[in-house]
């Protein structure tokens, strides 16, 4: 399995928080999750940028080419900007002349509108329909749509217009006029970075609006809010939904013209084309809902104003075309190859095995809740078999597993467990606690205040002081039991958990030992008293005998001395 990250996207691994939001929003599920990290699968990604937009931790980053462009500027060769027509919506009130003045201060030789290339592209689309009379023609301006077809709908490749994008058409025109120039495209699209890299020698670098804005701030250059009176061009409508159609004549006999935006809508349309349901159509496709003015790196994306942005584009566009020197048919041609990415489809046995590991044994177990990022449990099981997903990504599975594990512990522990809310009402009680307090059924106590079965003083102290109680021994006179009681306040769940261990036998044994010790001490005291009396009596007797002996010996001594 090829798992290359697109060169224009990087991932800050430490920022990934296992939310699966990027997977949920990825229209082609080109994200692999492993080791608590999301990984973009390069050969499946269509670079729509949705993962970048929705990531709450900013874990996805677009590769910044600002330094690369600065190197071009230092080279001494002319560096010319192709400015995407959506710039007027991103930098509201700033016309192309104001943009040109600011970018020349950065060192650029000139700034031109990509709308020039858009005009050339729409002319070529009209030629395809009028001269080649193709059955279905899909616009090839959006690189993400091109990748979608190249990777997921190879049978539809023949309908994809083999025409360069406006960015490429314009940059080729610039290089034709300035043979030694470097071209830099600035726009709202992640995919354009990949397009420039893949089709070498046309676009030398791509900057996003954010990169440009940061660069201007860094240099202290301000954009003047001036909408100039530059020549009008219908091609400025290109970044809006239906904008390509708005520039075209739409007069090819027998053709239906339509615009489709958003990857999911494009996928549905491609499936219809693939099945042979669509004929004689020109279809403008854009991967972004709202087209380029809602691109993933429009700076206004998170507070987008689609109506206002469209009005801004419309007011700047006009009703005529830029005068252009139309390139020859072969100059405008672009070749699209099939990009192999398919992973082997697992067998039904493998899928069923993965479902069983997720705790899905029958269809009713498949909640298809989508929290893992996949639309159905079956899709998730296929992703597991392909190494793109992990079993642990299933929230109901983890919840059931955690509840089963905790229930097993609670039900089988010899300790009594009572759970109260902060109003001291019993929310849960296990079998051991019911047995300790002679409670027949959960329903006899659930919802009632704990005062019915226990002294609430310790619980109130824990709530008032914020300090948990650990291993306090109490005597429950009503139940004639000694308990070692711990009370823990879970502030997050607003619950009090009381854990009681029956220590009645320990207390009885302790009392027995204390009684035996007390009796032993009493006996020892009596024996000591008796021994002291005996010693004293012996001492008294010994004292009398000694005195008599002394008297007798003294008399004997005196009698001997007299003689």
pLDDT in tens, the chain (563 residues): 333 445 677 677 667 777 888 888 899 988 887 777 788 888 889 999 888 888 888 777 788 999 999 999 999 999 999 999 999 999 988 999 999 999 999 999 999 999 999 999 999 999 999 999 899 999 999 999 999 999 999 999 999 999 999 999 999 999 999 999 999 999 999 999 999 999 999 999 999 999 999 999 999 999 988 877 667 789 999 999 999 999 999 999 999 999 999 999 999 999 999 999 899 999 999 999 999 999 988 885 545 678 888 998 988 888 888 888 999 999 999 999 998 876 778 888 888 888 888 778 888 777 777 777 788 888 888 888 887 877 777 766 666 666 566 667 777 788 889 999 999 999 988 888 888 888 888 888 889 999 999 999 999 999 999 999 998 988 888 888 898 999 999 888 889 999 999 988 888 888 788 888 788 878 877 877 888 888 787 877 776 666 676 676 666 666 666 65
3-class state of residue 3 by DSSP? coil
Those residues whose C-beta lies under 8 Å from the C-beta of residue 163, and which sit 6 or more positions away, are 121, 124, 125, 128, 140, 332, 333, 334
Looking at 135-242, list the stretches that DSSP marks H as alpha helix, in order from N- to C-terminal side: 143-152, 166-177, 191-198, 209-219
- ∠ CA 272-278-284, rounded to 5°: 85
C-beta neighbour count of 493 within 10 angstroms: 12
- Residue 93: per-residue pLDDT: 86
The domain limits of the chain are: 1-63, 64-317, 344-412, 414-502
Q: Contact 377/366 with Cβ under 8 angstroms?
A: yes
Supply 459's token pair. 């619980």
Q: Contact 321/112 with Cβ under 8 angstroms?
A: no
- Residue 215: per-residue pLDDT: 97
Q: What is the DSSP letter of 440?
A: -
Specify which residues 416 forms β-bridges with.
Answer: 500
Rounded-to-integer distance, Cα 88 and Cα 114, Å: 12
Supply 343's token pair. 């992973």
C-beta neighbour count of 424 within 10 angstroms: 16
Find, among 449, 448, 431, the residue nearest to 440 by Cα.
Answer: 431
Tell me how far CA of residue 402 lies from CA of 22, 355, 396, 397, in angstroms: 25, 18, 10, 8
CATH 1.10.15 corresponds to the domain 344-412: yes
Domain 414-502 homologous superfamily, CATH? PAS domain (3.30.450.20)
The total number of residues written for the chain in this structure: 563
Rounded-to-integer distance, Cα 179 and Cα 167, Å: 17
3-class state of residue 120 by DSSP? helix
Which option is the CATH number for 64-317: 1.10.3470, 2.60.40, 1.20.1050, 3.40.50? 3.40.50
Would 1-63 and 64-317 be classified into the same CATH topology? no
Rounded-to-integer distance, Cα 49 and Cα 301, Å: 12
Supply 256's token pair. 């239906």
E strands within 331-476?
416-421, 426-429, 469-476
- Burial code of 300-328, b = ≥16 C-beta within 10 A, e = fewer? bbeeeeeeebbebbeebbbeebbebeebe
The DSSP element (H or E) to which 40 belongs, if any, is: strand 37-40
C-beta neighbour count of 11 within 10 angstroms: 18
Supply 373's token pair. 């990022």
Rounded-to-integer distance, Cα 477 and Cα 104, Å: 90
3-class state of residue 499 by DSSP? strand
Q: Contact 150/45 with Cβ under 8 angstroms?
A: no
Rounded-to-integer distance, Cα 536 and Cα 529, Å: 11
Rounded-to-integer distance, Cα 471 and Cα 46, Å: 60
Rounded-to-integer distance, Cα 561 and Cα 563, Å: 5
Rounded-to-integer distance, Cα 94 and Cα 320, Å: 21
- ∠ CA 202-203-207, rounded to 5°: 175
Those residues whose C-beta lies under 8 Å from the C-beta of residue 63, and which sit 6 or more positions away, are 7, 8, 9, 10, 193
Class of domain 1-63: alpha beta
- Residue 404: per-residue pLDDT: 61
Supply 195's token pair. 């397009």
- ∠ CA 185-115-86, rounded to 5°: 70
Radius of gyration of the chain (CA): 43
Q: Contact 303/82 with Cβ under 8 angstroms?
A: no
Rounded-to-integer distance, Cα 425 and Cα 11, Å: 48
Q: How far apart are the first and last CA of the chain?
A: 135
Rounded-to-integer distance, Cα 341 and Cα 562, Å: 142
- If phi > 0 it is left, if psi is from -120 to 50 it is alpha, else beta; for residue 55 that is beta
């Amino acid at each position: 399995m090829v798992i290359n990250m697109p060169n224009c996207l990087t991932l800050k691994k430490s920022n990934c928080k296992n939310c699966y939001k990027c997977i949920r929003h990825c229209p082609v599920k080109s994200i692999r999750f492993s080791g608590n990290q999301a990984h973009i699968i390069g050969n499946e990604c269509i670079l729509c940028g949705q993962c970048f937009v929705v990531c709450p931790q900013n874990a996805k980053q677009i590769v910044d080419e600002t330094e690369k462009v600065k190197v071009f500027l230092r080279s001494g060769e002319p560096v010319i900007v192709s400015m995407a027509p959506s710039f007027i919506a991103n930098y509201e009130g700033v016309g192309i002349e104001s943009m040109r003045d600011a970018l020349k201060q950065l060192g650029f030789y000139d700034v031109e509108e990509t709308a020039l290339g858009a005009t050339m592209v729409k002319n070529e689309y009209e030629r395809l329909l009028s001269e080649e009379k193709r059955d279905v023609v899909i616009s090839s301006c959006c690189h993400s749509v091109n990748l979608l077809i190249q990777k997921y709908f190879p049978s539809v490749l023949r309908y994809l217009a083999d025409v360069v994008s406006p960015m490429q058409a314009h940059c080729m025109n610039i290089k034709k006029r300035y043979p030694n120039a470097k071209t830099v495209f600035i726009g709202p699209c992640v995919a354009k970075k990949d397009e420039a890299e893949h089709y070498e020698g046309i676009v030398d670098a791509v900057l996003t609006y954010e990169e440009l804005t940061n660069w201007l701030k860094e240099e202290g250059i301000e954009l003047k809010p001036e909408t100039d009176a530059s020549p009008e061009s219908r091609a400025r409508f290109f970044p809006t939904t239906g904008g390509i159609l708005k520039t075209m004549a739409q007069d090819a006999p027998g053709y239906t013209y339509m615009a489709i935006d958003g990857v999911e809508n494009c996928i549905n349309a491609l499936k219809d084309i693939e099945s042979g349901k669509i004929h004689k159509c020109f279809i403008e496709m854009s991967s972004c809902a709202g087209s380029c003015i809602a691109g993933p790196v429009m700076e206004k994306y998170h507070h987008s104003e689609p109506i206002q942005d469209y009005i801004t584009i419309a007011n700047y566009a006009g009703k005529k075309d830029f005068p252009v020197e139309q390139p020859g048919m072969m100059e405008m041609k672009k070749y699209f190859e099939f990009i192999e990415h398919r992973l082997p489809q697992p067998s039904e046995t493998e899928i069923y095995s993965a479902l069983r590991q997720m705790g899905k044994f029958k269809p009713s177990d498949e909640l298809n809740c989508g929290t893992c990022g996949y639309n159905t449990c079956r899709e998730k099981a296929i992703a597991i078999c392909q190494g793109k997903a992990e079993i642990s990504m299933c929230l109901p599975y983890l919840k059931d597993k955690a509840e089963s594990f905790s229930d097993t512990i609670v039900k089988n522990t010899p300790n009594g467990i009572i759970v109260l809310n902060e109003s001291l009402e019993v929310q849960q009680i296990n079998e051991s606690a019911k047995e300790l307090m002679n409670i027949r059924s959960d329903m006899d106590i659930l919802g009632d205040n704990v005062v019915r079965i226990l002294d609430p003083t310790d619980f109130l102290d824990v709530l008032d002081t914020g300090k948990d109680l650990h291993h306090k021994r109490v005597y429950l006179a009503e139940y004639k039991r000694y308990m070692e009681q711990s009370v823990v306040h879970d502030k997050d769940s607003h619950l009090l958990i009381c854990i009681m261990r029956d220590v009645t036998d320990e207390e009885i044994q302790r009392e027995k030992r204390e009684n035996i010790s007390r009796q032993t001490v009493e006996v020892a005291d009596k024996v000591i008293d008796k021994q002291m009396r005996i010693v004293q009596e012996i001492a008294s007797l010994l004292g009398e005998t000694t005195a008599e002996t002394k008297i007798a010996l003294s008399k004997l001594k005196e009698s001997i001395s007299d003689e």
